[in-house]
Each structure stands twice: as C-alpha cells, then as structure tokens.
Amino acid sequence: MNSTELTAKISKVAEKFGINGINDIETCNIGHINGTFFAQSDKGHLVVQRINHNVFKDPAALMDNIIAVTDHIRKKMENEGASAEEIERSVMRFYPAKDGKYYAIDENGEYWRICKFIEGTCTYNSGSAEMLYQAGLGFGKFQRYLSDFPARELTETIPNFHDTAVRFAHFEETVAADAFNRADACRDLIEKVLSYKDTAKEIVSKLASGEIPYRVTHNDTKINNVLIDVKTGESVCVVDLDTVMPGSLLYDFGDAIRAGASAVPEGSLEFDKFAVREDLYKAFYDGFSLGIGDSITENEKNLLPLSAFMMTYEVGMRFLDDYLSGDTYFHTDYAGQNLDRARGQLALADDIMKKKDILLAIAK
C-alpha cells in the first residue's frame, strides 16, 4: 500500500470512530501479530491497530477484556490517590466506535481499534540494567493492580496460551505431519525441543496441583510492551493487553527475561551470542518484585529460573512449529525467519538451563 492508499484506509477506519483529519501516518514494525499504525488526527496522536483475527478468534471478547482491565486499573490508581493526569498517562485509553463498541469491522471483515498515543514515551527491544529494572517495575505494578481482578470475568483470548505441555503435543503432531517437508532441514532443533518433553510439563502441572497460584497476568511481557518516558527513563504504561488472562506470575517473569535479559535480542542471527545476562536478570527481578509487592510466594520464587527457561523454550518451539507448518502464525519478513528465531531462542533456553543455580541465587 502506498502512502496515499494508507491514508485513505486509515481515514476510513477512523471515521467509524468519529475521528477525522488523519495525517502523518507511520507504520510500526514491532510485533509479529497485529498491524499497528501511528497517526495524527483531530483527536490528537493515535495508535490505530488491525487485530489479527486469525490469532484472536473473538476480537469482541478480547476488547471486553481490555476495557474491563484498563477500567479496573484506573479505579485502583484513583483510590490510591493518583492524579487524573497520571492515570491518563499510565493506562491505555481506547476510543469507542460510533456504535459504542471498542472495535470496528471494515469492508474486508478486518477488525480495527484505536487508542490514544501516550506522548513523550518510547519502547526498547533490549536495554540497560536500569531499563530492565523499570520494565520489571512496570510489569510488577501491572500485576499488583490486577491482583483483585475477578479472573472469571476474563475470556481466554487464546486457549492454553502458555500451556507448554499442550504446545509440546501440538509440536509432535506438526513434526509427524511435516506438511511442508521442512523437518529434514532442522532435525537438530527438533531433537532439542523433543529432549525437554518432561520439563515442558513442570510449570503447568504445578499450577494444576495448586502448588503455585493462578493470577491475572499479562502473558506477553516483552520489554517493548512497557512504554518508557523518554526524559526520565521511568516506566509509564504497560501496553499490548491482548493476552491478559488467568495465568502464572512465572509466565510474565520468564517471558520478560527471555526478551530483555538476553545478550542479543530475539531475531538476532548471531546464534552463538544468545545467553542470559545475570546483571539484567537481577535488574528485572528487583523491579518486578518491588512492583508486585509482597505477594510472591516461596514456591514461585524457587521457580523463577525455570520460568525463564520455559518461556524461552516455549516460544522457540512455537517458532519452529510455525516454520514447519508453513509460517501462518507469526509475521515474517523473509523465508526461514521463524527457523532463525527458533534457533536463537533455543540457544538462549539452553544457556538459561545451564545457569539455573546462579539465577536462583540472585533472587534469594
């Protein structure tokens, strides 16, 4: 789409929300799932997103979740004495469409939503210890605000999202089918994934037995999902709320370590450089535990290093599964990108497993 076509497209979407004067559109290239655009308008700076409804089967329920969660956080902040201005900056604000729904469907059956752009903020794919600390604080606080949210009211936007055992079973089926004849090109990685069969069950079985509690969690805590104030470097707002669902604190901790505490970021082709950095792990842990308050249990604490392994392993397996399935889930920019992503993540997972004891000592 050229820029005139894009302006026409976004303008037409915005109209459904009663928003006019669209200009200055920028395409956001971060994220593997939704389509994201920034635009100026008569209502100010906006984030316009096309919801991937191949991934999110029920966009209406997804938006109900997001509105409920953001309303809840706003109320809690208000009760804690935060100013209206601070709340506006800290919590995502979505615009209703003309029909009152928080999404609109275009002529091609695509789902769109619009929220306010929070000025003076940016995101990082990787960062310094201070940045990791801030990201930890942001995600920790987010979980604390939702600690009394009635989980029953949330729709599971992607069933079994972090059920690593279910994902493992799916992976076995994908390998057996090998529908695109790609398995021979990556036997080493397939064997690696399969070698962790028993480990894959560990966290989900502890959740099922009640050894660790279910909580309302974010479930996609890449550090670029926290907006950072460009002037102060402080965390401002947690974004990408599509997967807020009942889960485990470990999912949020582990995924953030995977994405933020690696020596090289996801997507790097320097496969031998994937390694967990202990300083970044500690920084995230410090921020996260401060943000979440005293509710982290001893069992959860003991499982933090395993969670970092698990989330890295899980996404490595998901990338490889998608590669073997013909690249239908994660957006790719070149052939073989999901295989490359898998290679990096599985190398990182191995490194985390090797350093489990060192990482455990950090949180003690």
Nearer to ligand GN1, 218 or 355 (CB): 218
Amino acid sitting at position 347: A
Long-range contacts formed by 329-336: CB under 8 A, 24+ apart: 329/54, 329/55, 330/32, 330/33, 331/31, 331/32, 331/33
Instruction: Give the range of 6-14, 80-88, 214-222, 295-303 binding Mg ion by CB under 5 A.
Output: 214-222
Q: Which does 300 bind (CB under 5 to 8 A by kind): ligand GN1, Mg ion, none?
A: none
In the list 64, 163, 220, 321, the residue contacting Mg ion (rule: CB under 5 A) is 220
In the list 9, 32, 206, 355, the residue contacting ligand GN1 (rule: CB under 6 A) is 32
The whole-angstrom separation of Cα 95 and Cα 111 is 14
Helix (H) or strand (E) holding 121: strand 121-122
Q: Which does 118 bind (CB under 5 to 8 A by kind): ligand GN1, Mg ion, none?
A: none
Size of the site for ligand GN1 (CB under 6 A): 11
In the complex, minimum distance from the CB of residue 157 to Mg ion, in angstroms, rounded to a whole number: 10
As given in the structure block, the two tokens for residue 215 are: 């909580």
Closest CA to 15 of 109, 99, 116, 108: 99
The whole-angstrom separation of Cα 145 and Cα 12 is 36
Q: Which does 266 bind (CB under 5 to 8 A by kind): ligand GN1, Mg ion, none?
A: ligand GN1
Q: Which does 327 bind (CB under 5 to 8 A by kind): Mg ion, ligand GN1, none?
A: none
Which residues partner with 216 through β-bridges? Answer: 246
User: Please, which residues have CB within 8 angstroms of residue 199's CB and are 6 or more apart in sequence?
Assistant: 309, 310, 313
Instruction: Give the range of 60-68, 113-121, 134-142, 238-246 binding ligand GN1 by CB under 6 A.
Output: 238-246
Indicate whether 252 belongs to the interface with Mg ion (CB under 5 A): no
Instruction: Give the range of 27-35, 64-72, 84-92, 134-142 binding ligand GN1 by CB under 6 A.
Output: 27-35
Closest CA to 269 of 319, 345, 340: 340
Indicate whether 322 belongs to the interface with Mg ion (CB under 5 A): no
Interacting positions 296-315 with ligand GN1 (CB under 6 A): 315
For 138, the 3-state DSSP assignment is helix
Nearer to ligand GN1, 19 or 168 (CB): 168
Q: How many CB atoms lie within 10 A of CB 143?
A: 25
Q: How many CB atoms lie within 10 A of CB 215?
A: 20
From residue 38, how far is each of 9, 66, 284 by CA, in Å? 13, 20, 29
Nearer to ligand GN1, 32 or 343 (CB): 32
Nearer to ligand GN1, 122 or 358 (CB): 122
DSSP state of 95: P
Nearer to Mg ion, 77 or 226 (CB): 226
Which residues partner with 115 through β-bridges? Answer: 47, 94
The angle formed by the CA atoms of residues 139, 145 and 146, to the nearest 5 degrees, is 90
In the complex, minimum distance from the CB of residue 344 to ligand GN1, in angstroms, rounded to a whole number: 11
Site string for ligand GN1, 215-234 (x = CB under 6 A): -----x-x------------
Residues lying near ligand GN1 in the complex (CB under 6 A): 31-33, 55, 220, 222, 240, 242-243, 266, 315
Residues lying near Mg ion in the complex (CB under 5 A): 220, 240
